[in-house]
Structure formats: C-alpha cells, structure tokens
Amino acid sequence: MTSSDRNRDDPGDRSHSHDGHEHPHEDDKVSTAMSAEQGSVVQFSVPEMDCPSCAEKVENSVRKLDGIISVGPQVTTGTLSVSYDGKRTSPDAIAERVEKAGYTVENNERATATFIVPDMDCPSCAGKIENALAELPELSSYDTQPATGKVITTYDNDSISPSKIVDAIEHAGYEVTDSTATNAGAGDTPVDDRESVWTSSRAIKTWISGGFVAFGLLFEFLLTGQNVLVAEYAGREVLMADVLFLVAIGVAGQVIFRNGYYSALNRNLDIDLLMSIAISGAVIAGLVFNQSLYFEAATLAFLFSVAELLERYSMDRARNSLQELMDLSPDEATVKRDGDEVTVPVADVTVGDIVVVRPGEKIPMDGEVLTGESAVNQAPITGESVPVDKTEGDEVYAGTINEQGYLEVEVTSEAGDNTLSRIVEMVEDAQANKTEREQFVERFSSYYTPVVVGFAILVAVIPPLAWGASWPTFIVYGLTLLVLACPCAFVISTPVSVVSGITSAAKNGVLIKGGNHLEAMGAVKAIAMDKTGTITKGELTVTDVVPLNGNTEEDILRCARGLESRSEHPIGEAIVEFAERSDVGTPTVDDFESITGKGVEADLDGQKHFAGKPGFFEELGFDLDHVHATTDGGVVTAKSRQMCERNNCVDLLEETVPQLQSEGKTVVLVGTEDELEGIIAVADEIRPGAKLAVQRLHDLGVEHIIMLTGDNDRTARAIADEVGVDEFRAELLPDEKVGAINELDESYDGVAMIGDGVNDAPALAAATVGIAMGAAGTDTALETADIALMADDLSKLPYLYELSHDANGVIRQNIWSSLAVKALLALGVPFGLVPVWVAVLVGDAGMTTAVTGNAMRLSRITPESLQQGQDQSF
C-alpha cells in the first residue's frame, strides 16, 4: 500500500513510526519510513551493497533525483537511508534509482491490514491504541481513524502475525470486531449486525447503576427514616443510601476503571483515567476521611457512562454515512459460465466475465454493456437524478441500478478496483487528511488537559489549606474540573464535520479527497473555469465549410481530414468525424507535426498543408484581408457575401471570421504554403445549466468567476457574455493558463480551477483547489484532482461550494462553542455554580452530542435544494 509521504509540519493523518514521528505508508519494497526534521526519511534493504564502492555508486545514482536532501548508505547492515522532499520525489523513484545503479531492493513481504475497533470513538481512545501499537517494532506504520472506528497497519508479514496486533489493541482496552487480515483472531461481526449501543453490555450496566442511584436518592432524601445504619468501622457510619451508591459505583465503574487502568498502562492522560481518579478520589474521601461523597461518586459514574453511550451513538451516526456508501455494491453477482447462470460472490468475479443484470437489480461490477438496453440510475456514483440510457458498448458502474431492461455486462475491473471501491477508498483516505484547524485543535488539546488538571488540584487543595474552606466542597469542585479536563468534544469537532461533509458529497456525486480540500474550497473567492468540456458540452460539430480560391467543400474536408487525422485535439476529432460522414477521401499523410496552441502541418500526397488558427496563417505570410471566394453559378456562397472592390474577394479578418466567431464558433483555416483553400467553423453547445451555475455561485458569495480558454477572443467573448462570467481570457497556451491561475491566487488569496482533469492538469495543479469534471470514467482525473465531479453536471459546482462553505462554518461553530462551554463551566466551578452532573451532561456528553449533531446537518444540503434556491443556513 502506498500513500504520499509528508513532512513533520504537515502530519496529514494519525500514521506513526516507533520514534513517535509522523509515518507515511510505503511500498512493499520499503523497509522502514519515518519523518525526519528535514523532509521525510525512507530506509531500504539493499543486501548487495556490501562495500564502500557499492555504496558510492548507489549514493551517486540516488542523488540524481530532484528533492534528495541526504543519502546515508550503511555497508555493514546493507541498508540505505534517504532524506527527501516528499513533494518532489517518492520512495518508488528512489528505489528505481537504486536498481539503476545495479542493486536489488529487497522485498520484505510487507502486508497491510485494517482492524475494526468500534469502541475507538474519540482521539483519546486512539491515543491509547497508538501507545500500545508503538510497542510492536515489527509494525512499519499504523493509522488510527476514530471517525471510522478503524486501525490500519502495515507490518512485516514474516516477523509478526495479525493476531499479535489484535492482542495489542485489545490490551489497550478495545475489542477488535473484524479484520481484513487472515488468522487475525478478531471477532467476525459485520457493522450492520453489531448490537445496538442502547442494548450493549455497558448500557445494561449503566441502567442497573442508574437504578441503584435512584434508590440511593430515595433513601437519602425521601425515606430518611428507612436510611438505616448498615455497617460501622473506625467510628465511621455506612448507611443504606451509602451502600446503594457504592453498588452503583461498582456496576457502572467496571468499564470506567478497566479503561482507566489501560490508560495508565499506556501512559495516556485521557477521560477514562481522569474519571477513574475522580471517582476513586470521592470514594476514598468517604471511606478514609469520613467525607460523605458517595452520592457524588455514584452520580459521576452513572452520568459518565450515559455520556459515553451518547458519544458512541453520535459517532455511529457519522460512521453509518460512510457505511451506506460501502453498502451500495451488492454482495453477489449472476455470472454466465459454461452456458449456465450461476450466482457467485462479487469477489469471485473476474475481468472478462459476463454478468447478467435484470430490471431492479444493482450492477455488481464496472463493465461494458454487451447485450440489451436499459435506463440505469447512476445517482449512487455520479449524483445524476435522471437515469441514463445505456446500450451496447456503453460503460456502467458498480453500485448503479438497472431500472428497466435486461443487460449483459462484460466485467472490466476487479471488485476491489472498480469505480465505487476507489470512491470508498478515497473517502476513507480523505478522512485521515487533516485540515489546518484540526492540526491546531490537536496542538491546543495537548496543553489543555494538563492545565485543567493542574487547575483542579489547586482548586481542591488551596482553599481548604489557605482559608480553612470545607474539604468536601472543594474536593467535589476539583473532581468536577477533572471531568472538564478531557477535550474530547473539542478535538472531535473537526473530524466529525469532515466525515459528514465528505460522505454527504460522495453520495451526491462529488468526491472530495481530503478535509483540507473541503476547507480550502469553502474559503476561495475566485473560480476559474475551462471552456471546452466544462462550460460547454465538449461535443464539437462542424457547422460551416467555406471553400476559397476555387476549391470545393470536398477538397477542403479531404485536406482537413488528412491533417487532423493524427491530432488528439477535440476540434480535430470533430473535423475528422464530419469528413468521414461526408464520405470524402483520405490523402496520404507524411511528416505530421502539431504546433502547440496554433495548429498542425503535414505533407498530403506530397504537398505541404497547414490547418489552424487565423493567426497561424498570418505568421505564414498570408494576406487574409483579400481572399478569393468560390462561387456557385455566379452566386457567392452565403459566408462570402461581404465583397471588396476586387472581383469575388472576401475580407476574412474583418468580416467572415469575426462573423463566425461572434456566433460562438471556432474557426480553422486550411491551406498550402501558397494558397488558402478554405474555412471550417466548429461549434460547441453551452451546457444548459452553465448560466444558472454561474449565477448561483455569485449568489453564494464567489467574488470573481473567470473563463480560461485557448479559443479565439470573439468566440470566448460570445460564450462568456451568454454565461455571465466576470472575466474571460482567450487564446491561452497551457503555461499561460497556469500564469492566470497564479495571478488569481495572488489577487484573491486562493482560487479554484475546474476542468476536465486531463488536458487542464497543469492549471488544476497550480490552483488552490483543482476540480475535475466528469471523472467517473477517468482514472487520471480521479487520481490527480483534489475534488472530482463524477458526472458532467456543472450544477454540482454551486453545491460543492455551498457544502464546503457551510462545512467551514460548522467546524468553526463546533470548535469555538465546545471551547467556550468548557471554559465557562471551568470558571464557574470554583464559585459553586457548576455541579458534577452539569459538567458531565453538558461539558462532556452534551457537547460531544451537540457537535456531532451539528456536523450531521451538512447532509441536508443537496444539489436539488440549491437548484431550487433553498439556502441552508448554518
């Protein structure tokens, strides 16, 4: 498994090595990877590097790569340590340079396994598991994801078994219910089959504890006459109510003290350890110092257990949004084998198999329709609300629904490599990509807990010692502050919002590949749009053919077909397709050359020909002001009506070309070195929703929308005016598009660029956020873009902006509200304004539930609601 390496100041995910540094995932060839003070460090096992000259050869070869900071070959151990800039090179590239020096990089048979740990639902839980896994030197990396309840590990398959990893996780106090590793020794409980939070063993103990607390209160305050003496020791009385409270502590406290023990064992100052100290302190104060704090301790144990159940329930809601994505694909498929139809698990379906899909069934695999016609609901993948007609040769995706007809589909990808699987994998990976706010919160929380614990000790001790205040009162105040010392609600506020936003977007056909991209998209004030294929449909057609200098339409199309037959430009493809339909011949083509941003040239039947922009022909020395028009029976053709004083002469620069371009058409001239043969006009239809999308973006607060195109100025102006963008730039070469993006970035402190994800790759990479459109069938776009709109639907862009903008608002609300509530409660404790139950139910459970519920509101935003102009207020 590979993923991008990161510097220490850009942690990305909770992925670690055993020195406590951030730790990237790595390729099977990589022995060990970890972060260094400068860049990232990767180690390779190179056993053949056994002498100083070998080491020198390897070092010289590796240093040829850009981004290498230092190289440290160790001849005695046969290992190579390389410090490098992860943005400029990668472990794979380094391994390749080692092999080019003539040395083999040993394959250590590394394996990656995912463990399902549903009780790991907060950062402090993850911290305990990380501390336990840090004791396993055989682990190369581990990645804890509280938002999904998963632990992802990379390890040496020969030196450690998955069951040992499970033991380490469970030794930290958390049950592993499932695993992708074989022989892991984990439970086998699918997510959907797990017991409800409210009927779990902890819930039952909580309810029993609550019953004893209720009876204790009854004897303490109402049935005071029946609150009899039960025991007496060392002159201290134990009443019936005290016994009931102690039983309540014992029942609810089992899990609390168990988790607190594991927290102490793993040197983790978290809520479990803090609550264990608080409850123990109250009980000890009653038993040893004759301070009656049993009620407070029992209330603390019961309410904290309720708080933990609420937190688990809230996190399960967030996790279920991703689980719904994973459940889109069916578990079984009907496959044709040996003339029969057999039902097999999707994991057993291979590339080339023929899958049968009947009306109402989900398509189990990506593939191509061999037989049948039907309307397919692609909403699970692309978010399109209207089913798409599919016929022979069309591509279909796993997880989409066959609405009507019978289909036979030839499978084109394995179950783990289809579009849906890649979406789910990228969404899971995206949750580990931390936003700047999340990194700040984690840094802040590392100081918050020790400071509040110190404050709690001072509040509990100083007033009684210094001013003779009541010990029971201020001990309770100290215990209350210990409850508030856990920053769980504060820390979970950002990741739960990111999970909600990213999974909601994925369900609506928008793939956001990281919380940092979600955050950045909501902050941009400028958006750049490519023209062809983004604002327009990208389906070019020939609209006009204007012959010149005695040539016929057939002559023009024949030459154009030859010139453009080897071009990969959409305009060239449209001309070739039109020429083929017109049944014109094909000349012999030699010495073809594409001139970037201008046109093409080639020898047709031995004569040099050119095709391209009017400016290209001006550079070749043609006078475009006076060109002889072809007539038909003495009548000049429709596009050649503007005649100058010369006989049958047209002014291309001032009349014909501008007229075509003002209609939104792109003009291509065709000619030889000596003669201009004709004009071909090509047009692309504007997407129906383009104008509404631009208007909606303006309404949502985008300050500047610019259209970037390599097309001519007049065509660009016509389309820009119709769509309503603020600015357009025409006749841009690829590097000029990048320059325009950089200018916008400087002017607006961030810019989003939307294009096709392939031809616009440089501009997308230069933008703050790169958005690829129509990416469902394009692997390159899925891999390279920061955000991918799975369908060719521009209406998803306002939805994406609104979702990202509101997600930023939700994150801010969650962070500052949880911090403010904790601060106010902490300040009120020394003045007796905050009882223990308020600290537990409001400061802990209440805020955790509140931030999760607030984050889940992001799922209410839909493309349909935006199209109807129904703003969601956050």
Spatial separation of the C-alpha atoms in residues 27 and 329, rounded to whole Å: 28
User: 692 and 543 in contact (C-beta within 8 Å)?
Assistant: no
β-strand pairing of 68-74 with 79-84: antiparallel
- Radius of gyration (Cα) for the chain, nearest Å? 34
**Sequence-ordered list of residues with C-beta below 8 angstroms from that of 535, at least 6 positions apart, any chain:** 529, 686, 687, 690, 707, 719, 723, 794
Quote the Cα angle for 86-92-95, to 5°: 115
Q: Sign of dihedral through CA atoms 400, 401, 404, 405?
A: positive
User: 616 and 595 in contact (C-beta within 8 Å)?
Assistant: yes
- Give the position of tokens 């499932």: 178
Which is nearest to 329 in space by CA: 397, 278, 405? 397
**Sequence-ordered list of residues with C-beta below 8 angstroms from that of 301, at least 6 positions apart, any chain:** 209, 248, 249, 252, 253, 256, 275, 279
E runs forming strands in 236-394: 236-239, 332-337, 340-345, 354-357, 367-371, 374-377, 388-390
Spatial separation of the C-alpha atoms in residues 250 and 298, rounded to whole Å: 9
Residues with a catalytic annotation lie at 530
Q: Angle of helix 294-326 relative to helix 240-265, nearest 10 degrees? A: 50
User: 862 and 799 in contact (C-beta within 8 Å)?
Assistant: yes
Spatial separation of the C-alpha atoms in residues 77 and 43, rounded to whole Å: 12
> What are the structure tokens assigned to 841, written together?
């139910």
Quote the Cα angle for 509-511-514, to 5°: 155
**Sequence-ordered list of residues with C-beta below 8 angstroms from that of 721, at least 6 positions apart, any chain:** none
**Sequence-ordered list of residues with C-beta below 8 angstroms from that of 10, at least 6 positions apart, any chain:** none
* DSSP 3-state of 159: coil
Spatial separation of the C-alpha atoms in residues 398 and 363, rounded to whole Å: 5
Q: Sign of dihedral through CA atoms 378, 707, 781, 517?
A: negative
Which is nearest to 410 in space by CA: 357, 370, 375? 370
